[in-house]
Structure 1
Amino acid sequence: MKGHFYRRNCTCKKKKCICGSKWAFTIDIGLDPITGKRKQKVKSGFNTKQEAEEFATTLIHELNQGTYLEETDKTFSDFAKEWLPVYSEAKNVKPGTIRVRLHEIGKLLPYFAQLKLKDITRKMYQDALNDLKEKGYSDSTREGINRTGRMIFRKALELELIKKDPTEFAYVKKEKKTIEQLEEEEVPRYLEKEELALFLKTAKDYGLEHDYLMYLILAYTGIRVGELVALKWKDIDLINHTISISKTYYNPKNNALEYQLVTPKTRKSRRKIIVDEEVIHVLTDHKRVQEKVIERLGDAYHNKDFIFAKMERQYGYPIVVKNVRDRMKRLLKIARLNEDLTPHSLRHTHTSLLAEAGVSLEQIMDRLGHTDDQITKNVYLHVTQEMKKEASQKFAELMRSLR
């Protein structure tokens, strides 16, 4: 392997250097496959010739073993821009996920934007995560940022652009929580069965267009609000009393005309749910009313088969998710129930009532389209724990009655 060692930019005319120039080396590393000319590796910045020789020996060994890697000079910012479309195509991710990844990349840019990928160390990466904590970002937000950072650097490693992954041993420092905080977060808020009955009665008596049917379906199926808004009549089997979930609604700008229908959250989210006769009855009534509106409006109606279609302006377009949230808040206020509850709370309510009815956790997870969800498990365990207490109390009362 040809090469030589020298003091770079040394201006001394004497044998002994007195200008303090660093040692460097230039060695041949093979031929360029396109031009056929020899390729050379130049490395400088060594304090002694021995340091330069040791580094060169390691490099030559890697070349002989076929493990040598020429690291890229790309910056983190440039590679992150290249990575995002590759990630999007490979994983077939939804627009919402891309939006999240862009946001998380944005949180890493202040630390690494113009740094070369190869120069980012494990300490630098860990320090960035720690600094994000100091700035007040939540555990879940920092976990998301770290997840995105790991994907970027692992792709760079996979493409042999870097030798080491600086995220390999990184960790997210968790906020220590008080017992009160843990107890408060343990179980999300949901409606008790009496409260749910009151809420649905309020929706029936005081609800705006669609309200009663919307919240009836959410409460009786536990589907996500995006899945609800995306429902079409072809998803409903009025004879067999089933609702098929095969898509979800995406519209970050809440512009009714700019909606997108995308695949569900997970593969498990594609499911068929058996529903009560009451739901089918209300759906049938709604269909009759909607058909008359479509007949009256003709071509002015955006007829794409949506169940929850707008009947005022932008006729036929699906209602936006924000409308479902706002209308629920209005009804909760009328019913004098907790106004902090959201349409997603009806999903937790569905879980709690199924648990109270004795349905197994596995069946509930299947109905909700979950493979694994800690929040659902927490609701289930909370409800079943209360049922166990009740069983214990009934047993104790039985024994006391025998005295």
Structure 2
Amino acid sequence: MARIYKRGKKWAYVAYAGKDPVTGKDKQKTKSGFLTKKDAQLAAAIFERKFHKGELIQPNKITLSELFYDWLAHYSRDVKESSVRARRIALKHILNEFGDMPIQKITKKTYQDKIDKLSNEFSTNYIESIHTSANLVFVYAYEMKLIKDAPTKGIKLPKKKDTVEELEKGDSLIENFLEKDELEELLLKAKTEGLEGDLLAFTTLGYTGLRIGEMIALKWSDIDFENGTLRVIKTYYNPTNNKIKFKLLTPKTKGSIRTLSVDPILIELLKLHKSEQELTKKKNSPFYVDNDFIFSTNEGHPRTIKHISNRLQRLLKKTYINKHVTLHSFRHTHTSLLIEVDVHIKEIQERLGHSDIKTTMDIYAHMTKNLKKEASNKFSNLMKDLSSKISSKHEQKHEH
């Protein structure tokens, strides 16, 4: 029970605040300056209730940098290295501003001001990434009872404002996938003018919709030639693009672990590549590192994402395709082709390895926008005769 007493002309209270974890001695909370005895009693009662419910936030001088490293140690246990790296990069902007500041002194206002300032420098998506990462750290501090509330709570993030140029350009997702004839053009160029491995790489991406990291991580043990399938159980991670400093991680989500039926032409290309790779192994046996990778260099190391991306851009220059095409575009290309042949959205979700069907639905919605024009053209062809008659009658009417 708190002791209420008068100090000069004002009132104060002293209450039990637990034991010091270092010394083991009892701690006390003292607060003064109350105008009446009743005010002091009420404040003491609130303090004791919070203390007994475990809601009391003890003063501390922990800085944001200290908190960050403590949080990171916990966060790293359950996520991939790529996720840890992404959080580190995003959080550096917040740490640069508040790193040396005690977390209990970081207010919602100062945090909002920093977000507003950063929004003038970076894209809306990147600001969201920064805020999401910072929120994880502050929520951790709140759960550890180090702060009364997270300053990231209720923050207003900048809304994306489309420019006239962006609106005129249209949806970039629609622009970035290849039509069937464009995919054909690219693959034929890869066959006739590409380097060894180009045709197999871009056929695999276009015919399966694999993420580039999933494709590079493929090993021969993942291919079932008899049943015409490939399995996805890992992904390639190499932020430095150093061919020997790579890691194989588990796939992006649980839904990403899957087995795909593949087209016979891809099985044929894989068999041909396997026989050619065997010759390379024998030729380069003194220095060949055989780790069973399908998409490997002449030394046996998996090809880097940068290398395959460069090959794509060089091949695109040899075609008539005038689009900003990336390696990820092949996933949208594959999706559009599946939609075109009326594959059910649930099957598309499983094939692409999306854990959440909302992701598939979003892509589906973008893709079907492009098909609306095709539907209009088909309708026009269907009604061509009638349209012609309507047009001729219209002309005759004006002649008379």
Structures share fold, TM-score greater than 0.5: yes
Moved more, 97-106 or 295-304: 295-304
**Runs of at least 5 residues in structure 2 that lack an aligned partner in the other structure:** 391-400
Shift of 1:143: 0.6
Structure-2 change in CA distance of 1:188 and 1:364 (3 Å): farther
Structure-2 change in CA distance of 1:272 and 1:188 (3 Å): farther
Shift of 1:2: 3.7
Tell me the residue number matched to 1:140.
125
Shift of 1:380: 2.4
- 8 Å CA contact 1:269, 1:369 repeated in 2: yes
* DSSP-derived class of the 2:160 partner: coil
* d(CA) in 1 for partners of 2:247, 2:24: 52
- 8 Å CA contact 2:225, 2:267 repeated in 1: yes
| CA displacement 1:199-226 (0-9 Å, x = unmatched) | 1010001111211111111111111111
Structure-2 change in CA distance of 1:229 and 1:150 (3 Å): same
Runs of 4+ deviating beyond 6 Å: 22-25
Shift of 1:114: 2.0
**Which of 246, 249, 260 is the aligned partner of 2:233?**
246
- 8 Å CA contact 1:356, 1:383 repeated in 2: no
Shift of 1:157: 1.5
* d(CA) in 2 for partners of 1:63, 1:299: 70
- 8 Å CA contact 1:256, 1:317 repeated in 2: yes
Alignment pair present for 1:99 and 2:85: yes
Alignment pair present for 1:159 and 2:144: yes
Tell me the residue number matched to 2:95.
109
Shift of 1:156: 1.3
* DSSP-derived class of the 1:39 partner: strand
Structure-2 change in CA distance of 1:2 and 1:101 (3 Å): same
* d(CA) in 2 for partners of 1:191, 1:5: 81
Alignment pair present for 1:346 and 2:330: yes
* d(CA) in 2 for partners of 1:164, 1:244: 46
Identical residues among aligned pairs (%)? 36
Shift of 1:393: 2.6
* DSSP-derived class of the 1:234 partner: helix
Tell me the residue number matched to 1:222.
209
Tell me the residue number matched to 1:193.
180
* d(CA) in 1 for partners of 2:140, 2:286: 50
- 8 Å CA contact 1:187, 1:375 repeated in 2: no
| CA displacement 1:164-188 (0-9 Å, x = unmatched) | 1222212312132246524334634
Tell me the residue number matched to 1:123.
109
Tell me the residue number matched to 1:356.
340
Q: Please provide the CA RMSD for this pair.
A: 2.8
For these two proteins, the number of residue pairs brought into alignment is 382
Shift of 1:399: 4.9
* d(CA) in 2 for partners of 1:323, 1:50: 76
- 8 Å CA contact 1:348, 1:379 repeated in 2: no
* DSSP-derived class of the 2:284 partner: helix
- 8 Å CA contact 2:174, 2:370 repeated in 1: no
- 8 Å CA contact 1:139, 1:174 repeated in 2: yes
- 8 Å CA contact 1:352, 1:379 repeated in 2: no
Shift of 1:30: 3.6
**Which of 248, 259, 266 is the aligned partner of 2:246?**
259
Tell me the residue number matched to 1:83.
71
